[in-house]
Amino acid sequence: MDKRILGEIEEEVRVHPHYADLQHLLALALMAGGEMERAESHFLEALHLNPRYREALINLGFLNIETGRWKEAEEIFLAEAKKHPRDGFLQHVLGILCLKTGRVKEGSARIHRAIRYHSYYRDYYKKKGVWKRGKVHLDQKAERTFKKIRFTYPYAQLYNLIGLYLAKKGKVTRAIKELRMASGLEPDDFIFHANLGTVYYYQGSYPKAIRQFQKALKIHPSYGMGYANLSYVYGLMRHTSEALRYMKRAVQINPQYADLHYNLALLYSDRKRYQEAAAELKKALRINPNYLFARINLGVLYEDQKRWKEARREYREVLQVTPNDEHVRNRLERISSLRRR
Amino acid sequence: MLKEDFAIQSELRRMLVRTSINYSRMDFGTVKGVVYIRGFFQISSIAPDTDEDRLKDLTAKTLYSFEKKVRNIPGVSDVIFQLLNWRKERGQWVPIEVVKKEEEDEGKTESNG
């Protein structure tokens, strides 16, 4: 753990002690540095500030595993598994916990559930030689391996959060280094690839951003914002047909996001597909009737199609909200004079 | 110059993240090369002990630089700011509260005179 970053986070926590996210981040950083007692107190503080902070609770569970407090760890994961009984990850952690504490039969049942609830664990245990012909086979060698296993998840999450923290401060190169560590530790977690892709996009490294978004989407094909981000990157590369394809997919997955309809409308409008653009703008306005830009764009689209009456209606609505908008006023005056001619 | 609104919008999104602007209370849109920016303009990561004058100075400087960057995006023909807390007057960025106060003061002076 970079001491300079740790110092920066400590300072942020000092300034904003009531931010649960910062308390959680500091706890993870301290945990990575081996300061388990201090880490525990900050996890607890994060949970005190936000009792529904699931990540903080789970990471507190991992801290208990790291410090050999199996019972406390198990209590946390059992309570979570009760709330989310079909969460393969929780069953996997509980399975390993059972093996660490010598309860092979129970561990085997948990692993079986993890495989049933999440296909990722089928491949994981298959690779480890534990899942064979539809059954869990735990020989002594496998038991020994799992007893020694260390969970990398909280550390990957730390790298991820540090990466995001640095990116927010504009330190993109250092952010990328941290996010690469996160996705290296947990290559099957889509969010680490997605975040790395986003930071590459901010940096302007578009081919790298595309690769990371595609990795994220391979793991989690219904991650709508991944398609939207791919669309933005392709848009900047002026690959409009790809940009359009991915934005359509993003809208399909998240039809309730007005902003995505707006962006899809811009893509259609740029390609002079005015009817489709107008339909998307109307959808955006149905979701958010105060979406002023969508209304201006709609007015301009009507104007392009010489539908003066509809264009005037939209511009007038805009001017009711922002009467000082000279740009819209000029457009309205121009089409009104055209009508008079 | 091609006016590809979607590319402008994507570049604007990318640019905002890379600045010290807190864009959580801002919206932006692009209409045939004209960029619209609305909402509250604030800068992020300010030390809590920064005094008000220094903060205003910093915000104004950030606005100048941001406006310049937006105007430099290929395809952008104009930028329209519809900010709730800042406005441009005779080429100068001024906070709206200050403008109101000064107008009030001027009004008082005139009525006194």
Is B1 a residue whose pLDDT tops 50?
Answer: no
Lowest mean pLDDT, pick from A133-142, A247-256, A302-311 = A133-142
Spatial separation of the C-alpha atoms in residues A61 and A78, rounded to whole Å: 10
Spatial separation of the C-alpha atoms in residues B39 and A260, rounded to whole Å: 19
Is A187 a residue whose pLDDT tops 70?
Answer: yes
pLDDT, tens only, A67-95: 999 999 999 999 999 999 999 999 999 99
pLDDT score at A197: 97
- Chain A's closest residue to B19, CA to CA, is A170
Nearest chain B Cα distance for residue A171, angstroms = 9
Phi-psi region of B38 (alpha: psi -120 to 50; beta: other; left: phi over 0): beta
Sort out which chain A residues have CB atoms less than 8 A from B44's CB and list them.
Answer: 168
pLDDT score at B108: 53
Sort out which chain A residues have CB atoms less than 8 A from B45's CB and list them.
Answer: 169
Using CB atoms, which residue from A232, A296, A322 is nearest to B13?
A232
Sort out which chain A residues have CB atoms less than 8 A from B32's CB and list them.
Answer: 300
Is B86 a residue whose pLDDT tops 90?
Answer: yes
pLDDT score at A163: 93
pLDDT score at B45: 67
Closest CA to B70 of B20, B25, B40, B28: B28
Please name the amino acid found at residue B71.
R
Chain B, window 2-41: residues with a beta carbon less than 8 angstroms from a chain A beta carbon: 4-7, 9-11, 13-14, 17-20, 27-32, 34, 36, 38
Spatial separation of the C-alpha atoms in residues A332 and A275, rounded to whole Å: 21
pLDDT score at A119: 80
B60 burial level (CB within 10 Å; 0-12, 13-18, 19+): middle
Spatial separation of the C-alpha atoms in residues A327 and A303, rounded to whole Å: 14
Phi-psi region of A137 (alpha: psi -120 to 50; beta: other; left: phi over 0): beta
Nearest chain A Cα distance for residue B40, angstroms = 15
φ, ψ of residue A277 in degrees (nearest 5): -65, -45
Using CB atoms, which residue from B6, B34, B36 is nearest to A267?
B6
Spatial separation of the C-alpha atoms in residues B111 and B113, rounded to whole Å: 5
Place of tokens 């998307």: A280
pLDDT, tens only, A287-320: 999 899 999 999 999 998 999 999 999 999 999 9
Per-residue HEC secondary structure of chain A comes to CCHHHHHHHHHHHHHCCCCHHHHHHHHHHHHHCCCHHHHHHHHHHHHHHCCCCHHHHHHHHHHHHHCCCHHHHHHHHHHHHHHCCCCHHHHHHHHHHHHHCCCHHHHHHHHHHHHHHCHHHHHHHHHCCCEECCEECCCHHHHHHHHHCCCCHHHHHHHHHHHHHHHHCCCHHHHHHHHHHHHHHCCCCHHHHHHHHHHHHHHCCHHHHHHHHHHHHHHCCCCHHHHHHHHHHHHHCCCHHHHHHHHHHHHHHCCCCHHHHHHHHHHHHHCCCHHHHHHHHHHHHHHCCCCHHHHHHHHHHHHHCCCHHHHHHHHHHHHHHCCCCHHHHHHHHHHHHHHHC
- Kindly state the average pLDDT of the residues A180-205: 93
- Chain B's closest residue to A228, CA to CA, is B10
Sort out which chain A residues have CB atoms less than 8 A from B29's CB and list them.
Answer: 262, 292-294, 296-297
Q: Enumerate domains of chain A plus CATH numbers.
A: 3-148 (1.25.40.10)
- Apex A247 CA angle, A245 and A249, nearest 5: 75
Chain B, window 33-92: residues with a beta carbon less than 8 angstroms from a chain A beta carbon: 34, 36, 38, 44-45, 48, 78, 80, 82
- Kindly state the average pLDDT of the residues A233-259: 96
Sort out which chain B residues have CB atoms less than 8 A from A235's CB and list them.
Answer: 4, 6-7, 9-10
φ, ψ of residue B26 in degrees (nearest 5): -125, 150
The question of ipTM being above 0.95 is answered as: no
Please name the amino acid found at residue B31.
V
Q: Answer for the pair A199, A167: CB distance below 8 angstroms, yes or no.
A: yes
Q: What is the dihedral of CA A127, A131, A133, A138, to 10 degrees?
A: 130
Place of tokens 């959808």: A283
Q: How many CB atoms lie within 10 A of CB A91?
A: 25
Sort out which chain B residues have CB atoms less than 8 A from A296's CB and list them.
Answer: 29, 31, 36
φ, ψ of residue A162 in degrees (nearest 5): -65, -40
User: In the CATH scheme, what is the code of domain B5-112?
Assistant: 3.30.70
Sort out which chain B residues have CB atoms less than 8 A from A327's CB and list them.
Answer: 31, 34, 78, 80
Give the best-scoring range by mean pLDDT among A321-325, B41-45, B64-68: B64-68
Size of interface A-B (CB pairs under 8 A): 72
Whether B9 and A172 lie within 8 Å, measured CB to CB:
no
pLDDT classification of B113: cutoffs 50, 70, 90: very low
Nearest chain A Cα distance for residue B107, angstroms = 23
Using CB atoms, which residue from A201, A300, A327 is nearest to B80?
A327
